[in-house]
Amino acid sequence: MSKVWLITGSSRGLGRDLTAAVLADGDLVAATARNPEQLKDLAEKYPGNIYPLMLDVTNKAQIIAAVENTIKKFGRIDVLVNNAGFGIIGAAEAYSDEQVRNQLETNLYAPIAITHAVLPCMRKQRSGRIIQISSIGGRVGSPGLTVYQAAKFGLGGFSEALAKEVKPLGIWVTSVEPGGLRTRMMASMACAPEVDGYENTVGIRMKMFKSSDFIPTGDPAKVAKVMIDLADNPEPPVHLLLGSDAIARVKQADIARSEEMEKWLPVSMSTDACDQEN
C-alpha cells in the first residue's frame, strides 16, 4: 500500500528533492509551500499522487487546515517530514528581536505545532513516522549561528522526548541531522548587522558560508533516499547524523565534552544532598 507523506517546505532545496523522490517511489504526498505554484511541474508529472497545499508554517490556522485537508484527501498521514526552515548568521548581540522570534517560530515552534496537529491521526492509526529535519547545528554549537542552533537544539530535545512518549503507540520519531548540504540555504542565509570584535569568530564563518569556494559535502538527493528508507525501517534511530563532516564534528565534540565532564567531576558530584553520600 502506498504511504501518505506530509512534507513541509516542498518547493525548494531538500524538501523539493524529497518530494520528487517520494513521488517517483510511488507514494502519495501532501506537499506544502508558501507558493504551491512552484510545485506545478510535479503536479503535472504525478497527477493524483501529489496534493499541493499553501502553508506558512508560522500560521496556526493554516497548519490545522493543511493537516485536515490532507486527511480528507488521502484518508491518513503515514509520514510527517518537518522540513521547512531557514538560517541566519551573525553575532548573538547583533540579532534584532524580530530575527530571533522568526528563527524560533519557523525552526522550532512550527515543527512542534505541526507535530501536535498530526499526532491525533497517527495515534488513532497506531502507526506513523515523524522525521524532523534538524542539523549538525542541533548537536554542536558554532559561532555565528547561536539563534539558528538554539532552535535546532530545541528541536532535537523535543524529538528525543517525544520518541519515548509515542513509541508504545506505534509512532517512530527521528531527528535527521545533516552536515552541510549542496542546496542554496547557506548562500541565501540572512545576516545580522556586523559588530566589531567578532572578526575572528563570526566573521570567519560568515566569509566561509558566502564564499564561492565553499562546497558542502552533502548530496540532498542521497539524503532524500535515506529518508525514504527511514520510513520503511522497522526500528529507525532517534538521532541520525548524515555526512562525513557531521560525524567528524560530533566525534570531536564528544571528546571535548567528555574531557570537560571528567575535569569537573568532583564539583559535579559535590552538590548531592548529604543523605545521598556513601
Domain harbouring 18, CATH code = 3.40.50.720
Q: Which of 3, 13, 52, 15 is nearest to 32 (CA)?
A: 52
Which grid cell sits at 14?
A: 531538500
- Please pick, among 51, 95, 109, 134, the residue that the annotation labels catalytic: 134
Which of 46, 51, 95, 152 does the annotation list as catalytic?
152
DSSP assignment of 145-194 equals -HHHHHHHHHHHHHHHHHHHHHGGGTEEEEEEEE--BSSSTTTT-EEPPP
Residue 275 forms part of a structural domain? no
The residue ranges of the chain whose pLDDT is under 50 are none
pTM value surpassing 0.85: yes
In a domain, 257, yes or no: no
Task: Give the strand order in the sheet containing 4-7.
Answer: 50-54, 28-33, 4-7, 79-82, 128-133, 171-178, 239-242
* Residue 60, number of CB atoms within 10 A of its CB: 15
Lookup result for grid cell 539563534: 147
* Predicted local confidence at residue 182, as pLDDT: 66
- Determine, yes or no, domain membership for 277: no
Q: Count up the domains in the chain and report the number.
A: 1
Burial class (CB within 10 angstroms; exposed 0-12, middle 13-18, buried 19+) of 176: buried
Residue 164 annotated as catalytic? no
**At 239, which helix (H) or strand (E)?**
strand 239-242
DSSP string for residues in 190-219:
EEPPP-TT-TTTHHHHHHHHH-TT---SB-
Catalytic site residue 46? no
Q: Is residue 185 part of a domain?
A: yes
11, 148, 159, 175: which one is catalytic? 148
Cell numbers that stand for 38 in this block: 512552484
- The answer as to whether 265 is a domain residue is no
105 is a domain residue = yes
Asked if the structure places residue 92 within a domain, the reply is yes
Question: pLDDT tens digits, residue range 200-249?
Answer: 999 888 887 776 667 767 888 889 999 999 999 999 999 999 999 998 99
Whether the CB-CB separation of 83 and 18 falls below 8 Å is answered with yes
Task: Give the pLDDT of residue 188.
Answer: 67
- Residue-level pLDDT at 7: 98
Task: Enter the C-alpha cell of residue 196.
Answer: 566589531
Terminal Cα distance for the chain, rounded:
58
Residue numbers of the domain that contains 241: 4-247
96 is a catalytic site residue: no
> Residue 278 domain-assigned?
no
What Rg, from alpha-carbon coordinates, does the chain have?
20
Q: Which amino acid is at 270?
A: S
Distances in whole angstroms, Cα of residue 113 to Cα of each of 55, 125, 187, 190, 267 = 13, 20, 28, 24, 39
